[in-house]
């Protein structure tokens, strides 16, 4: 029998640790507190998911209000003790959906990360992924380099020999003033065809998570920032959340030097796993352009459960999907 017990964020983290669950940062209290300061987002609840009294997973929800309706998002949730079977996951999803229907009549759907498709729908927005690259950053600089693909080792060694950029942890500088880094992101967006979020989204994230949970690494040439990344940290796991690079340095292997330096610095700080946050596949074809760069840093890719939607108000969700289909048809 599945039960869901609502708890506070610190209790969720303590119980997850006792159950052997390594929590993504998005399932922690520091992330909920960060979300609480964003307009249209409200922490909704943290839950221990038990089967016959034993914790099998935990989940933290944020209420997103957008376009006049509400949905609950749990990034990288549920976090499981062990990967579930399809039947086990389905049982948990049904229990969560039933609980939400009883608790909050405003919620149109859930957006959670699931291993299996049953009872879910493709997300209405954003680009989910089902594979990522996780770099083992233990054992020191040479061990990190040695675990890369041959092409990765070649490109990193070339960058160390020839790239003039100096790489450092610039979290303190970015906390003080993010404008120089944001200018690089604007240039990256113009080149790669996306619109960056407002600068405050990045600077607020760094400030809210703090240096313990968020780092900014930067590469400079002659004192000028030419590439940078924002990295989240929780326990022994880090995730490369955002990155930007100027057009003028694309042929200088700056990103190879930056990423390798991040691996070495994080490894020296006790991080064991560095997640590059998604690559493309048949499930996520729009992300395949990331694969050539990211996959050279490790011999293996890692499967992860992608985000999917679970309708709560089924008729309303059907109306949303119909409206989306019509908009897509009109754009053709």
Please write the tens of the pLDDT for every residue from 208-255: 999 999 999 999 999 999 999 999 999 999 999 999 999 999 889 999
Q: Which domain holds residue 7?
A: 2-125+307-331
Q: Residue 66: pLDDT above 70?
A: yes
pLDDT on residue 51: 96
Q: What is the 3-state secondary structure (H, E, C) of 165-207?
A: CEEEECHHHHHHCCHHHHHHHHHHHHHHCCCCCCHHHHHHHHH
- Residues 48 and 86 sit within 8 Å (Cβ to Cβ): no
pLDDT on residue 162: 96
Q: Residue 281: pLDDT above 90?
A: yes
Could you write out the DSSP letters of every residue in 85-96? Answer: PHHHHHHHHHHH
Q: Measured between alpha carbons, how far is 64 from 41 in angstroms, rounded to an integer? A: 5
- 269 lies in the same domain as 317: no
User: Residues 284-295: pLDDT tens digits?
Assistant: 999 999 999 999
The three-class DSSP label of residue 35 is helix
Phi, psi of 169 (to 5 degrees): -75, 115
Q: Measured between alpha carbons, how far is 174 from 182 in angstroms, rounded to an integer? A: 10
**Best CA proximity match to 60, nearest among 20, 109, 7:** 7
Could you write out the DSSP letters of every residue in 45-64? Answer: EEEEEEETTEEEEEEEEEEE
- 265 lies in the same domain as 136: yes
Phi, psi of 157 (to 5 degrees): -60, -40
The pTM of the whole model exceeds 0.85? yes
- 115 lies in the same domain as 209: no
Q: Which two tokens stand for residue 306?
A: 């992608």
The percent of residues above 70 in pLDDT, for the chain, comes to 100
Q: How many domains does the chain have?
A: 2
- Mean pLDDT, the chain, integer: 96
10 Å Cβ neighbour count for 152? 22
What average pLDDT score do residues 4-27 get?
97
Q: Residue 328: pLDDT above 80?
A: no
pLDDT on residue 177: 96
Q: Residue 134: pLDDT above 80?
A: yes
pLDDT on residue 125: 84
Q: Residue 129: pLDDT above 90?
A: yes
Q: Residue 331: pLDDT above 80?
A: no
- 116 lies in the same domain as 201: no
User: Residues 36-49: pLDDT tens digits?
Assistant: 999 999 999 999 99
- Residues 238 and 214 sit within 8 Å (Cβ to Cβ): no
- 151 lies in the same domain as 42: no
Q: What is the CATH number of the domain that holds 141?
A: 3.40.630.30
Q: Residue 78: pLDDT above 90?
A: yes
**Best CA proximity match to 40, nearest among 89, 73, 5:** 73
Sign of the CA dihedral 178, 280, 311, 31?
Answer: negative
- 81 lies in the same domain as 211: no
Q: Which two tokens stand for residue 261?
A: 């330096």
- 287 lies in the same domain as 315: no
- 16 lies in the same domain as 146: no
pLDDT on residue 332: 65
- 46 lies in the same domain as 164: no
- 117 lies in the same domain as 140: no
Q: Measured between alpha carbons, how far is 182 from 179 in angstroms, rounded to an integer? A: 5
- 287 lies in the same domain as 142: yes
Q: Measured between alpha carbons, how far is 248 from 175 in angstroms, rounded to an integer? A: 26
Task: Please compute, for residue 253, the number of CA atoms within 13 A of its CA located in the half-sphere on the CB side.
Answer: 18
- 35 lies in the same domain as 63: yes
Q: Which two tokens stand for residue 182?
A: 């944001």
pLDDT on residue 109: 98
User: Residues 142-190: pLDDT tens digits?
Assistant: 999 999 999 999 999 999 999 999 999 999 999 999 999 999 999 999 9
């Amino acid at each position: 029998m599945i039960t869901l017990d609502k708890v506070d964020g610190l209790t969720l983290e303590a119980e997850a640790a006792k159950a052997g669950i390594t929590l993504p940062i998005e399932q922690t209290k520091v992330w909920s507190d960060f979300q609480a300061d964003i307009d249209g987002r409200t922490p909704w609840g943290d839950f221990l998911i038990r089967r016959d009294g034993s914790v099998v997973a935990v989940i933290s929800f944020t209420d997103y209000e957008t376009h006049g309706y509400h949905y609950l998002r749990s990034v990288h949730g549920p976090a499981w003790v062990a990967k579930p079977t399809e039947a086990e996951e389905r049982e948990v999803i049904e229990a969560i959906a039933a609980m939400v229907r009883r608790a909050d009549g405003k919620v149109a759907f859930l957006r959670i990360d699931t291993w299996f498709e049953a009872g879910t729908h493709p997300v209405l927005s954003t680009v989910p992924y089902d594979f990522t690259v996780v770099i083992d950053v233990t054992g020191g600089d040479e061990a990190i380099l040695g675990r890369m693909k041959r092409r990765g080792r070649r490109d990193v060694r070339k960058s160390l020999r020839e790239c003039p950029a100096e790489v450092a942890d610039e979290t303190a500088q970015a906390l003080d003033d993010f404008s120089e880094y944001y200018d690089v992101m604007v240039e990256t967006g113009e080149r790669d065809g996306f619109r960056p979020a407002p600068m405050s989204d990045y600077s607020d994230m760094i400030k809210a998570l703090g240096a313990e949970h968020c780092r900014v690494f930067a590469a400079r040439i002659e004192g000028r920032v030419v590439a940078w990344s924002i990295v989240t940290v929780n326990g022994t796991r880090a995730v490369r959340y955002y990155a930007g690079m100027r057009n003028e340095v694309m042929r200088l292997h700056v990103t190879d030097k930056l990423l390798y330096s991040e691996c070495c610095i994080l490894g020296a700080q006790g991080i064991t796993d560095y997640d590059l946050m998604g690559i493309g596949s048949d499930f996520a074809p729009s992300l395949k352009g990331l694969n050539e760069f990211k996959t050279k840093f490790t011999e293996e890719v890692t499967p992860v459960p992608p985000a999917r939607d679970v309708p709560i108000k089924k008729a309303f969700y059907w109306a949303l999907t119909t409206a989306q289909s019509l908009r897509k048809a009109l754009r053709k």
